[in-house]
């Protein structure tokens, strides 16, 4: 069942047969990190299919699909510290700069509000233009360490262990 229409696209739940397409979208979207001197991020493999399947099975995976019904972007989330945490949002470069990522974030915010969830959170690179500056334009504000709940602290610790803190990172918050 459709959950929304945006910029000539539909947002709906991800279907199980589309999980490999989500990996392809993430790989394509990640290539632009080479342009900002972050080839390790560009080369990082997307989440494995079984992990993506868990997000889908928990009802926390959405795709933006074109007229042909194929995903061009996706968002996966999880419950973290009583909020919905954006684990990943990726838009294929062929569909970028059309408001699709923002529409997926807005879709998640509406879902959170409908379920009495107070906010969205995410972690991101502070200095990458399509990361923290973009999310700030989408209504997110930085969270300092004192504002991190225990589960969000654990996410940040896992990111640091994975080597992501080689570049400045931060957690962000958007009330819904």
Please check the confidence at residue 4 and state whether its pLDDT lies above 80: no
User: In this predicted model, what pLDDT tens digit does every residue of 19-69 receive, in sequence order?
Assistant: 999 999 999 999 999 999 999 999 999 999 999 999 999 999 999 998 889
Burial of 134 (C-beta count, 10 Å sphere; 0-12/13-18/19+): middle
Q: Which domain holds residue 111?
A: 4-175
Q: Rounded to an integer, what distance in angstroms lies between the CA atom of residue 27 and that of residue 155?
A: 22
Q: In sequence order, what are the residues at sequence separation of 6 or more whose Cβ sits closer than 8 angstroms to the Cβ of residue 172? A: 121, 122, 123, 124, 132, 135, 136, 140, 141, 142, 143
The answer for 100, left when phi > 0, alpha when psi is -120 to 50, beta otherwise, is: alpha
pLDDT value for 5: 44
pLDDT value for 136: 97
Q: pLDDT-based confidence at 1, cuts 50/70/90?
A: very low
**pTM assigned to the model:** 0.92
Given a contact cutoff of 8 angstroms between Cβ atoms, the answer to whether 71 and 39 are in contact is no
CATH number for the domain that contains residue 25: 3.40.630.30
pLDDT value for 6: 53
User: In this predicted model, what pLDDT tens digit does every residue of 77-131 receive, in sequence order?
Assistant: 999 999 999 999 999 999 888 899 999 999 999 999 999 999 999 999 999 999 9
Please check the confidence at residue 7 and state whether its pLDDT lies above 90: no
pLDDT value for 9: 81
Number of domains in the chain: 1
Query: What is the rounded average pLDDT for all residues in the chain?
Result: 93
């Amino acid at each position: 069942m459709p959950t929304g229409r945006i910029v000539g696209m539909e947002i709906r739940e991800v279907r199980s047969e589309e999980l490999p397409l989500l990996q392809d979208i993430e790989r394509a979207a990640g290539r632009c990190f080479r342009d900002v001197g972050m080839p390790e991020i560009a080369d990082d493999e997307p989440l494995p299919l079984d992990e993506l399947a868990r997000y889908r099975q928990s009802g926390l995976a959405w795709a933006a699909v074109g007229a042909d019904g194929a995903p061009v972007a996706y968002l996966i989330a999880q419950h973290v510290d009583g909020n919905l945490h954006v684990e990943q949002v990726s838009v294929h470069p062929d569909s970028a700069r059309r408001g699709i990522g923002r529409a997926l974030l807005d879709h998640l915010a509406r879902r959170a509000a409908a379920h009495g969830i107070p906010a969205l959170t995410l972690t991101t690179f502070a200095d990458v233009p399509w990361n923290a500056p973009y999310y700030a334009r989408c209504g997110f504000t930085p969270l300092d360490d004192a504002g991190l709940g225990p589960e969000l602290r654990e996410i940040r610790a896992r990111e640091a262990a994975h080597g992501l803190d080689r570049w400045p990172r931060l957690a962000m918050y958007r009330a819904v």
